[in-house]
Chain A
Amino acid sequence: MSRERLEMAIIRILRIMGLIIFIAIVAFPFYWMIVSSFKSLSEILMKPANLGLDIQKIDFHAYYEVLFEHGFLRYISNSVYVSIVTVVLSVTLATVGGYAVTRLRFRGQKFMSYSILLIYMFPAIVLVVPLYVMFSRVGIRDSINLLILVYLAQTLPVALYMLRSYFQTLPPEMEQAGLIDGCSRLGVIWRIVIPLSAPALASVALYTFMIAWNEFLFAFMFLDTPEKFTLSRGVVQLAGSVHLSKQLVMAASVMVTIPILVLFLFFERLLVRGLTAGAMKG
């Protein structure tokens, strides 16, 4: 066997082993979560080490219970509301703002452009306590809309940064042509910039959605009333409640995970294109 073929074989074995280890680490908890969510409580208690799932014994009862008896229907609609409003606001503001710092000349434009990421330098944990105190004093803390505001503040810097980088790659002549052809500035953004930025906008939307959907810290700190809970907050509430039923927590976790997974699989191509598009001159 030549040296080259030996190397190729070793590399192939290493690659397969790497994949196996990676899948085991990443996929096993996920698998465990799904399998457990389909089991009944008695089955989990009797055979806790059973990794398999008996197709005939698949039990959707946990989902039913979580949705209708533990208020998860409400939590889901709350999460959907919070995430979608955050996405819409974040994408809209980031589009206009990102455009302004790339194309328009105004006093402080450089500073604005560079300070976008500054706010992102503060970790959430640093902000959560002062914000908690502040909002409690004003008396508006326990509110979903406040949560949206916080998520917006959290996602907007990165959204702006991503869109700004993308806008910088668009040739300005195209927009000048639009202006001469009779568009206003907003018309240029709407008819030329936005259609051309579809991949970047999709990745920003997906990113924002993921952050808002998965966010836990602020939801945990700010929300007191169970009717206002988001999904992630709801899962913790459920896990911490007295009658500990593993299958219920697993079913709730599946419900948190599935939408993101579906969105991600669906938008994956766009996302990759959008994230790298800023790096290359097209």
Chain B
Amino acid sequence: MASLTLKGITKLFGKTVALSGVDLHVEDGEFCVLLGPSGCGKSTLLNIIAGLILQDEGIVILDGKPVDRLSPRDRDVAMVFQSYALYPHMTVAHNLGFGLRMRGVPKPAIQKRVLESAQLLGIEDLLDRKPRELSGGQRQRVAMGRAMVRRPRLFLLDEPLSNLDARLRASVRLELKQLHHKIRSTILYVTHDQVEAMTLGDKVVVMRNGKVHQIDQPETIYARPADTFVARFIGSPEMNLYQGRLLQKDGRSHFQGAGFSLDLGGLKPNVGQGEVEVGIRPEDIEIGQSATPLRGKVEIISNIGSEKYLHVSLGNVGLTVRAPKEAIFQPGQIILLTIDPDRLHIFQEGRRI
């Protein structure tokens, strides 16, 4: 087990910037998730930590010691690949024990540890099989087992669940979380799936275009996104975001959007005036009468079973509102909406204020 620190990691592929100045600290035993759209550099970062790619600038520190000069084998990290990358010509037992064998661990010890890991993952019946005889879920477990059996200082997981079907993914996700509670190892987990990030991570790192946008606990990322990218990227359906002007009138703040305006109450005197973006999550909008309601017209209703989402037109813009599953609405119906100013996210030049 070890802590991991990255300082100013920068990587260029030709002229494309894959990573620019990434700083990150992962505590010993922490489950840290790198989240971002594909092509944001998260897998590159993982490969740099593993030593498979060399960074152009910056240092990787494991347990207080820089490891940049060490080859992958000497860094003592384990990696689980998206494609699992099991060795097709070896049995499951050999796949699991390969890393130990390469490190010269005596045979009885290898057998013992392979069996231990296999039991922990529930694959002890599969030890004599070849990878091609396994299902996707079983292969995924073997890939996990191959990483675990070595008891590395750090686990690197590169979208390990993305090749599983949706149902299996949910159950393996849960198992992964339980597994982490059991073995308490330091894990760096790459995904583009926000549900995985929110449910698994002790800490979530949101990345885009090689830059870190926010590092926080999942709750904070959701409740206080640092910028408009994070605000849009986290949450499904995504946050409603509107361009507009902030005005001060009679000591009260107003937001003037395209065809609608919001009274922000006595909110944020330090903001002043100017161009801003305000955001509100669909579940933070109340349907019904209040002192300062907005009038919207229901356009489309998406029923996802546990709740309904109304797509409402408001002035010249659209708005997504969550409604309880029992509520009955008709397309074309005019509804009154109330937005609590305290629930608003306000961004200036993309950054939260």
Q: Give the interface of A toward B (CB within 8 A).
A: 171, 173-174, 176-184, 187, 192, 195-196
A182 partner residues in chain B, CB cutoff 8 A: 73, 99, 102-103
**B85 touches A (CB below 8 Å):** yes
Instruction: Tell me whether A173 and B81 are in contact in the complex, defined as CB-CB below 8 angstroms, given that A179-B72, A184-B73 are known contacts.
Output: yes
Interchain nearest-CB distance for A128 vs B (Å): 42
Instruction: Tell me whether A187 and B88 are in contact in the complex, defined as CB-CB below 8 angstroms, given that A171-B83, A180-B72, A180-B77 are known contacts.
Output: no
Interface residues on B, range: 20 to 34
Interchain nearest-CB distance for A166 vs B (Å): 14
Q: Is the CB of A176 within 8 A of B52?
A: yes
**B15 touches A (CB below 8 Å):** no
What DSSP secondary structure best describes chain B's contact surface? Answer: loop
B78 partner residues in chain A, CB cutoff 8 A: 180
Name which residue of chain B comes closest to A192, CB basis. Answer: B87
Give the top 3 A-B pairs by smallest Cβ distance, nearest first.
A182-B102, A173-B85, A181-B99
Q: Is the CB of A181 within 8 A of B81?
A: no
- Per a CB cutoff under 8 Å, which of A174, A179, A180, A187 touches B87? A174
The answer for the CA separation of A177 and B73 in the assembled complex, in Å, is 10
Q: Is the CB of B83 within 8 A of A180?
A: no
B51 partner residues in chain A, CB cutoff 8 A: 179-180
Q: Mind listing 8 A-B residue pairs with CB under 8 Å? A: A173-B83, A177-B81, A177-B146, A180-B78, A180-B99, A181-B146, A182-B102, A183-B73
Interchain nearest-CB distance for B25 vs A (Å): 22
Q: Is the CB of A176 within 8 A of B79?
A: yes
The answer for the CA separation of A176 and B83 in the assembled complex, in Å, is 12
The answer for the CA separation of A184 and B71 in the assembled complex, in Å, is 9
- Residues 135-159 of B, flagged 1 when their CB comes within 8 A of A and 0 if not, give 0000000000010001000000000
The answer for the CA separation of A183 and B102 in the assembled complex, in Å, is 6
- Per a CB cutoff under 8 Å, which of B47, B71, B85, B103 touches A177? B85
- Residues 59-88 of B, flagged 1 when their CB comes within 8 A of A and 0 if not, give 000000000000111000111011101111
A173 partner residues in chain B, CB cutoff 8 A: 81-83, 85
Interchain nearest-CB distance for A38 vs B (Å): 46
**B98 touches A (CB below 8 Å):** yes
A192 partner residues in chain B, CB cutoff 8 A: 87
Name which residue of chain A comes closest to B73, CB basis. Answer: A182
A180 partner residues in chain B, CB cutoff 8 A: 50-52, 72-73, 77-79, 99
B167 partner residues in chain A, CB cutoff 8 A: none
A179 partner residues in chain B, CB cutoff 8 A: 51-52, 71-73
* Interface residues in B91-126 (C-beta closer than 8 Å to A): 98-99, 102-103
Q: Is the CB of A177 within 8 A of B79?
A: yes
The answer for the CA separation of A146 and B48 in the assembled complex, in Å, is 47
Interchain nearest-CB distance for B8 vs A (Å): 23
* Interface residues in B327-350 (C-beta closer than 8 Å to A): none
Instruction: Tell me whether A181 and B83 are in contact in the complex, defined as CB-CB below 8 angstroms, given that A176-B52, A196-B89 are known contacts.
Output: no
Interchain nearest-CB distance for A280 vs B (Å): 16
Q: Is the CB of A181 within 8 A of B102?
A: yes
Interchain nearest-CB distance for B293 vs A (Å): 56
Q: Is the CB of B85 within 8 A of A174?
A: yes
The answer for the CA separation of A173 and B52 in the assembled complex, in Å, is 10
The answer for the CA separation of A176 and B103 in the assembled complex, in Å, is 16
Instruction: Tell me whether A176 and B98 are in contact in the complex, defined as CB-CB below 8 angstroms, given that A183-B73, A192-B87, A196-B89 are known contacts.
Output: no
Name which residue of chain B comes closest to A195, CB basis. Answer: B89
Known: A177-B85, A181-B99, A181-B146. 7 other contacts (CB 8 A): A176-B85, A177-B146, A178-B87, A179-B51, A180-B77, A184-B71, A196-B88
Name which residue of chain A comes closest to B77, CB basis. Answer: A180
Name which residue of chain A comes closest to B82, CB basis. Answer: A173
The answer for the CA separation of A128 and B161 in the assembled complex, in Å, is 59
Name which residue of chain B comes closest to A172, CB basis. Answer: B85
Interchain nearest-CB distance for A272 vs B (Å): 20
- Per a CB cutoff under 8 Å, which of B47, B73, B88 touches A181? B73
- Per a CB cutoff under 8 Å, which of B81, B99, B150 touches A176? B81
The answer for the CA separation of A187 and B101 in the assembled complex, in Å, is 12
Name which residue of chain A comes closest to B74, CB basis. Answer: A182
B52 partner residues in chain A, CB cutoff 8 A: 176, 179-180
Interchain nearest-CB distance for B114 vs A (Å): 13
Q: Is the CB of B85 within 8 A of A171?
A: yes
The answer for the CA separation of A173 and B51 in the assembled complex, in Å, is 13
